[in-house]
Amino acid sequence: EGVGPQEYTAIKFEVEKWSDRLKDSEFVQKLKEREKEGKVFMVAATLRPETAYGITNVFVGEKIEYGAFEAPNGEIYLSTARAAKNMAFQGHSRVKDAVNQIATVVGHDLIGTQLQAPFSEHKKVYVLPMDNVSSTKGTGIVMSVPSDSPDDYVSVMMLKKKPAFYGIEVEWVQDPIAVVDTPTYGTRAAEMVVTQMKIQSAKDVVQLSAAKELVYKEGFYNGTMVIGKYKGMAVQEAKPLVRADMLAEGTAFAYAE
Ligand code: A2H
């Protein structure tokens, strides 16, 4: 882990339709009773909010336990209990109060849930599984940007190859979107580096970590936005502007840990 606190942007994805796996579940029942009090969102923590235009899906860990927590503004957020506690100290959750954990669900049962993603070119995105999601980082929910993240690209590639094996529909895996242009790797930096390094699986952790380093550095320091309000601007300059817009619109909030 790094030295100082990480300043994440916590992006909110409103739940459009729960997975069929949650049909008749106590989880959905409990939320139904509360939904009139506030909309339900899955919350993903990112260090690269300017890549949100390229979100194709959201990842959860199948074995990770998530809770639904009431926020002071009346909205309901899905995250790990650990993150909800951090949010409480930062004014975004009431989980300090035990009564404010509304319901609990395991990641496996969230697969196939449909979410609204107004900031992405794909307005509807699905929840998909990823082995490398950590339960002790961010909210335990990851926004997937396969154009600019080798982790996300490899996971999406594996899901697309064997949808039945992973228990998903192939249509839930949507196409990458060009977000950032880089001098060395073009607009599909993650795909280019993963292909060049012949990375076949998320289990190639050493290679994948080298790919991440290359893609992140090139995208963040040498990249130019090719989409959205800040098209043509350097990524480094666009990042704080996109973040500020999302915070102002209420589609995201600041989250540190
Ligand atoms: B980033 P750091 Cl395009 N488990 O968002 C695993 N990974 C997680 C996570 C968790 N529980 N929570 C967040 N993350 C990912 C976008 C992105 C990210 C791009 C490029 C680089 C990048 C799209 N995924 O991160 O360990 C999230 O992926 C580069 C570091 O706290 C989050 O930002 O430094 C990043 O890891 C946070 O990683």
Alpha carbon nearest to ligand 1 atom 12, residue: 138
Closest Cα to atom 38, ligand 1: which residue? 47
Model-level ipTM above the cut of 0.95: yes
Using a 10 angstrom Cβ sphere, with 0-12 exposed, 13-18 middle and 19 or more buried, the burial of residue 160 is: middle
HEC profile of 113-180: CEEECCCCCCCEEEEEECCCCCCCCCCCEEEECCCCCHHHHHHHHHHHHCHHHHCCCHHHCCCCCCCE
pLDDT in tens, 176-186: 999 999 999 99
Specify the CATH superfamily of domain 7-256.
Valyl/Leucyl/Isoleucyl-tRNA synthetase, editing domain (3.90.740.10)
Confidence of residue 95 (pLDDT cuts 50, 70, 90): low
**40-46/76-79 β-pairing:** parallel
Report the separation in Å between the CA atom of 215 and the middle of ligand 1, taken as the mean of its atom positions: 13
Ligand 1 center to 99 CA (angstroms)? 31
Closest CA relative to residue 11, chosen from 85, 72, 79, 93: 79
Predicted local confidence at residue 96, as pLDDT: 60
What pLDDT, on a 0 to 100 scale, did the predictor assign at position 38? Answer: 85
Q: Which atom of ligand 1 is nearest to the CA of 133?
A: 4
Within 6 A (CB) of ligand 1 lie 6, 45-48, 51, 132-134, 137-138, 140, 142-145, 148-149, 152, 216
Look-up: residue for tokens 């029942």? 29
Q: Any idea where the domains of the chain sit in the sequence? A: 7-256
d(CA 128, CA 149): 16
Q: Which of 56, 149, 153, 155 to mutate to test ligand 1, by most ligand atoms within 8 A of the CB atom?
A: 149
Q: Is the pLDDT of residue 44 over 90?
A: yes
Once rounded to an integer, what is the mean pLDDT over residues 193-216? Answer: 96
Give mean pLDDT, residues 107-136.
97
Q: Between 4 and 255, whose confidence is greater? A: 255
Task: Check whether 100 has a pLDDT greater than 90.
Answer: no
% of the chain exceeding 70 in pLDDT? 96
Q: Is 65's pLDDT higher than 60?
A: yes
Residue-averaged pLDDT of the chain? 94
Among 137, 153, 194, the mutation site with the greatest number of ligand 1 atoms within 8 A of its Cβ is: 137
Lowest pLDDT segment from 24-33, 34-43, 104-113: 34-43
What does the pLDDT read at residue 56? 98
